[in-house]
Every structure is written in structure tokens, then in C-alpha cells.
Amino acid sequence: MIGFAFLLLGESLTYWQIVGVFLILSAVLTATNQSENKTTDKKRIIKGLFYGVVAMFLTGFGVVIVKPVLESQPLMWVTELRLLSGVVVLSFILLFNKNRRTIVRSVFENGIRTSTILGSVLGAYIAMILWLGGMKYTQASTAAALNQTSSIFIFIFAYFILKEKINLKKNHWNNPCCCRGVTGYI
């Protein structure tokens, strides 16, 4: 996103923003280092990395090209349009997913209904309003760097809410419970 803001919007980076970019990149590379894991399927890792990189590339590009619209339109309208387009695309994908009944049924299970609704409202709706608000009211490069602090909060919440142990050799690839509600359906 910072690169797209530089290339497409003509934003310039300060010394501290450049330092921040390198800190973000080093944190991502450190957190995703899997060199000691011998049991992980390499095809799965490559597929996951590919999806992750393409998703971040498209997200960054999409937000940067929409920034001029975001600056001139109401924040709530842009947020609703973005969420609605996501619902339409995911509904279309769901139509062709062989596990669609299991996916839809999982939303209504008693044990996860509250978490699903709360996570959807906080994680999608409110977070997106704040995220796009940051993009609207400051430079995209600055907002992008600040938005990357979400990774810190994910670790903190994983520790306190999910009771996950955090250590230097944290390894999610061997944890079948990590994303169990998603990976089984993709």
C-alpha cells in the first residue's frame, strides 16, 4: 500500500516512515519464518503465501486507487459499498462451493453464533469504518503503517482470549485448531 501510495498518489515518505516500512517488513519476515518446521507440506505453504501476497497486493492497490473517491465521499457510504461488494462476491462463491450447506449451517450453531456475529460487527464493520477513516483523513502511506499494528493486537488477543502460548518459536502450521472454521471449507 505504501508503494502504491508513492507511485500512484505521489505521496512522499519521511525518514521515519521508511524506517517503519523496514520494521514492518522485518517483523513479517520474522513472524513467518518456518525454517525449523520439517513436517509442513511445502505446497500448502506456497499456496497460502501466494493467496496472502495476492490478497494484500489487491487490497493495497484497491484502497490506493479509491483514495480520491474516499476523500470526496461520505465515509459511511464508501464503507457500506465496500462491504456490500464483498457480500455479493462471497455469496456468488458460496453458490459454487460444494460445502455450502455446512458453511451456512455453521453460522447458526449455538456455540459460535455470538462469536460470529460479534466478530463480524467488530472485525468487519466497525474496523473497516475506522480503517477507511484513517485512509480518508491522512496519507495512505501513514495509515497503512499504522494499520499494520493490528498484528500486535492479534497476538495479544490470541494470548488472552484463545489462551495461545506466545514464544519465539510460535508455529501455527502444526496447529490444526488455528482457523479450523475456515480451512476445512476452502
Per-residue pLDDT tens digits for 115-169: 778 888 887 888 889 888 888 898 877 787 777 777 777 778 888 888 877 655 4
DSSP assignment of 63-100: HHHHHHHHHHS-HHHHHHHHHHHHHHHHHHHHHT-TTH
The three cell numbers locating residue 81: 459499498
pLDDT (tens digit per residue) in 61-109: 888 888 888 889 999 998 898 889 888 998 999 999 999 998 888 777 7
Domain boundaries along the sequence of the chain:
2-33+40-183
